[in-house]
Structure 1
């Protein structure tokens, strides 16, 4: 069965105050600025005092690197000691674009203070054999070569066992990262991670490369006479990593991306980084647009590890002054990206053939396996399939069974050879993928990730049971109508509107990213002519099995047509000689020196369409958090009285409020001050009481008593069983019947429960403290964020 027809969510027109339009007009000298004003207003970018700093980075005041507090001071002090003592320092990076640029920033930045290759080195794990994060074999190899200090970037926060092993070997560690925090501070010299800051802090959303930059910035400020190169020369690398990593571009993230793009566009004229300049030429980009990164540089840097596993030469490509060497490396990178495109297309076609055999009306999670699929592209394909079919997607391969992929932990030499399926998972429709897969942890061999993406492996023989169980899990939570793919638009325009003036207005929102996506333009009652498709070509003019369709779009607003491209689609997929609605993005093609649209979605017009809704619903949220409410009727208000622990709950209530044209009041109290350890002891105490009194309870009562979610409670039940409680449950009750001998290693189960509690408490604190305008903005636009994919 083919993918479901997507549901379109079309724009309403908010009432934008005249004074706000007037404030935008000076930035749009050749147009009225109304479209830019409407888009900014819809996205809650409406504070007139902050507006100049949003549009012009030179009007923004960035935060000091020392706002990371004592941790930054500890790091600077340890680096100073290493420099003075002549100790060997190794940068431990990661293989994706954020990790590669993070490593490059530290390589160039620390390289002003330490002799490269003599006192300073770097280590990039292999995507196909090591995966993300620190690993013990790698640390032991570094110890053997004399490393005394490791500086991580874009990784390391939760690698507790590996950090302890490094300490045993006499290696100190400075962690720079932006991922999930550990329960307790690890045994490191310093941990510089913005998740320790308040969610409203301007540094909170920094990606790995930006955190690495802040460390270098602190060194420059502390020892200003040592560096020979300007700090600003690192900003192009920062922009590449920030935009490629899809972090929320607000606060200092947006500022650094803006400054970095200014630095990046200098590379073609006066290259300080010949490798970056050569990559821009190969992908036919000028470097002055965020899309030059998201559709050009980012996919190429990521492609190297997807194809080869080893991405070490990418750091050399981005940092070496040797143009001839960079020419060779840039061509290798381009070939890897060409190979990635072919593999991605082939795997996508294979997946879709398998999907034709599935009944999607009874399929809630897509789980497919094939021995011929390349592990390096499974995450990309899974993301594409998840969006197109509206279902969480897990794609697995039994190819290269001696290697690990995704977010798995490294396999040890002592483990026996197993027949494993390994691969990647991607979520959609706000389904928490981490909790979903984790619910079947007893069937898994390795697993790691976050709510929207994960890597996993399991025994091939467990696949049928895993597939059935995970589908049953989602079936109990939602119905199939909630799995319908969603395509959103921001604003309605005509073909006559397309061109330079509109492009300049939309450019005020750039750089775009999470929370501020590329504007989607709806063109109604249009048609397509001059439709052609062809395979793309690599830099050697060799055809690649990756298709694109070119066209011209017209409507009654203009006698002229406007050029466009539809990546990954054939011409027969585009309705010819029929009136259509289309959702597009406006772009500038540097290679062809013209403005054009990038087609996102198209449908044949239907006079009975009634998809238009008040999706954006400005100011739909009421902030009553922590307030004592009087017992009165709220006839036009939906109350959310339980503090959310994930986006699924709050987004569901938000959608309900939109459909019912009501306000949604955030009316939950301050989160419970109990620590995770106290909640565990409380649960154990309840279990002892139920055993002693022979009384029964229910999962729901336990949830309410402990104020935790159902998935976390299940982890708590598993921990009780691990310490010796025997639990009997049926559809209406749960009973503690006896105390048995504890299972081996119960502390692991307890730790899983504690970790889940910590994450819930973190999320509760977030949803209690986050500004209401941030929630409004995210809830309104999260659906379209995921529609933006790296298609080149």
Structure 2
């Protein structure tokens, strides 16, 4: 790995570590591999741990070789037996979800699957808690109310694994609780009728990193296998929901998740749901062109906006809408909520920046004005801007709720585990978590978390790293390379769009763009000796590439003639035309300061 930074840049622009992946070793089997695989693609896949020719062929063909048998998940048989009995005896079943996109899609998916199997669909009811009034996950009052309404089985999706008290309460009031969740395990499994989580050490299911909606899908699969006489509809009808929830929750897009999302994108592009068609319409998306990026930047945020600023039922209603008029109405509502979310996030992020010490080992900000629906987004912005783990709390009268975002060097949920004695509840992943805390414990919480972060991050180089897959001359970027890189799709967490590096690139022109000039538009060509430096073909005419550098408008007026650029190869669609475009992640003056 080669760390590289340059001092001659506008002071406000972030300094990245450029981490250029080493070339494939000479003794690697990939050196003698099938020449049908582009060398840049082979290098990218090697960087991601695929070191054998067979692994690369399997990845490119999207053949997931491990078993997908849902009954390999611990407690699946117990869950299926109890649900089957409830369906046979006409008991009320409640699907208890979460208010983010993963939780909403999981709730809709399992509710839809169970209603297809039930003799009376009214006995299958969804329940999503209110973010403000109830908070995340199972709660005692909701379980008591559901039992009073006649529910005898509650199935949690995307929550519950760290709710032993709530599970014991359900048991005490005669409510059979089935927990399906993908979050990290607590110190004990809740005392439920069944606990399905692929992270359980006694689970033999090969894919450990399914999203909450992926586990709900596995439960639906198992029910179809166990009760084929009750199953109705196509199983593939649920895959669009799996794709949305998996991508929106940033689940790793490798292994079975990648296959599920690929299968789900095929269904999404058929636009089987009126709600999806309406949401695509307000998002400016086209059928047949949906990608994981479309979910991450367009569909997911709008679905999440409902649970952040209103109620997640608004998103659920959209996904189950059968009438196009109703779907359009719900889609417009989500689009407006998303605009409000963006505005609120900007305002509260500015407020948070006034409250923090950006050089502290962990960034902690609390204020009554922070809204629970956007504290996670504000924490994410703080973590990105400071490259420190960040905690943002909505301060209540007696209790406060916090959302955490972290960096690869700091496992935030493990840190919360160390102060669990101060918390009412908590849970999450390595880089994202949430918690509730009594206000009298806040001073001790801040002191101990600061100490934990200070100890773990002591001596760490706290600058974000750009993991660069390969260096190549700019003239080697063409439609053929773009088509080659598309074989990596669907891309996302742990399978990102590749980052490429071209050195000594000439800046033909540049200008700030955007309403506030915060972005930079450029036209770039290879420098005078670019082909010779990289061993590329000589004599090919230089092509000026359009490029966009988001949030780097301050380079305007300060950009030298020759630069080194790190970028992704993207597309720009405008007025019916589609062109290649470089999406620039970082810029530095060329290493020798003038020409290549």
TM-score (normalizing by structure 1)? 0.65
Q: What's the counterpart of residue 341 of structure 1? A: 342
1:542-557 matches, within 5 Å, as 549-556=520-527
Q: What's the counterpart of residue 301 of structure 1? A: 303
Deviations 1:318-358 (A, max 9, x none): 12221111111111111112122222222333344556xx4
Q: CA deviation at 1:56?
A: 2.3
3-state SS of the aligned residue for 1:588?
A: strand
3-state SS of the aligned residue for 2:475?
A: helix
Deviations 1:8-58 (A, max 9, x none): 2223322377974775654x6xxxx11111111121213333434322236
Q: What's the counterpart of residue 533 of structure 1? A: 513
Q: What's the counterpart of residue 48 of structure 1? A: 53
Q: CA deviation at 1:192?
A: 1.9
1:546-625 matches, within 5 Å, as 549-556=520-527, 559-568=542-551, 570=553, 575-589=558-572, 593-607=578-592
Maintained 8 Å contact 2:24/2:31? no
3-state SS of the aligned residue for 1:94?
A: coil
Residues of 2 paired with 1:312 and 1:322: CA distance?
A: 17
Q: What's the counterpart of residue 514 of structure 1? A: 493
Q: What's the counterpart of residue 67 of structure 1? A: 72
Correspondent of 1:78 among 79, 82, 87: 82
3-state SS of the aligned residue for 2:351?
A: helix
Deviations 1:460-519 (A, max 9, x none): 787677555544443344435532332322112343233422222212222223332221
Deviations 1:399-427 (A, max 9, x none): xx3xxxxxxxxxxxxxxx43x65432222
Deviations 1:738-791 (A, max 9, x none): xxxxxxxxxxxxxxxxxxxxxxxxxxxxxxxxxxxxxxxxxxxxxxxxxxxxxx
Change (3 A) 1:465 1:155: closer
Residues of 2 paired with 1:54 and 1:488: CA distance?
A: 21
Q: What's the counterpart of residue 688 of structure 1? A: none
Deviations 1:666-693 (A, max 9, x none): xxxxxxxxxxxxxxxxxxxxxxxxxxxx
RMSD: 3.2
1:451-466 matches, within 5 Å, as 451-456=430-435
Residues of 1 paired with 2:367 and 2:508: CA distance?
A: 38
Q: CA deviation at 1:389?
A: 1.8
1:139 aligns with 2:138: no
3-state SS of the aligned residue for 1:265?
A: helix
Change (3 A) 1:212 1:25: farther
Residues of 1 paired with 2:514 and 2:372: CA distance?
A: 27
Residues of 1 paired with 2:362 and 2:240: CA distance?
A: 40
3-state SS of the aligned residue for 1:49?
A: helix
Residues of 2 paired with 1:528 and 1:295: CA distance?
A: 30
Q: What's the counterpart of residue 8 of structure 1? A: 18
Q: What's the counterpart of residue 326 of structure 2? A: 325
Correspondent of 1:37 among 39, 42, 67: 42
3-state SS of the aligned residue for 1:162?
A: helix
1:315 aligns with 2:312: no
Correspondent of 1:381 among 366, 378, 383: 378
Residues of 2 paired with 1:292 and 1:546: CA distance?
A: 25
Change (3 A) 1:359 1:219: closer
Residues of 2 paired with 1:553 and 1:246: CA distance?
A: 33
Change (3 A) 1:68 1:601: same
Q: What's the counterpart of residue 496 of structure 1? A: 475
Change (3 A) 1:228 1:606: same
Q: What's the counterpart of residue 284 of structure 1? A: 284
Residues of 1 paired with 2:561 and 2:353: CA distance?
A: 27
1:273 aligns with 2:278: no
Q: CA deviation at 1:437?
A: 4.8
Maintained 8 Å contact 2:517/2:553? no
Maintained 8 Å contact 1:202/1:250? no
| Uncovered stretches (5+) of structure 1, i.e. residues with no partner | 402-416, 536-544, 610-792
1:752-791 matches, within 5 Å, as none
Q: What's the counterpart of residue 653 of structure 1? A: none
Change (3 A) 1:198 1:553: farther
Residues of 2 paired with 1:493 and 1:65: CA distance?
A: 44
1:189 aligns with 2:193: yes
Residues of 2 paired with 1:193 and 1:128: CA distance?
A: 27
Q: What's the counterpart of residue 132 of structure 2? A: 128
Q: CA deviation at 1:435?
A: 4.4
Residues of 2 paired with 1:284 and 1:25: CA distance?
A: 39
Residues of 1 paired with 2:571 and 2:278: CA distance?
A: 20
Q: What's the counterpart of residue 475 of structure 1? A: 454
3-state SS of the aligned residue for 2:83?
A: helix
TM-score (normalizing by structure 2)? 0.85
Residues of 1 paired with 2:393 and 2:499: CA distance?
A: 33
Q: What's the counterpart of residue 4 of structure 2? A: none
Change (3 A) 1:179 1:346: same
Deviations 1:283-335 (A, max 9, x none): 23345321111222122211221222x20121221122211111111111111
Aligned residues: 567
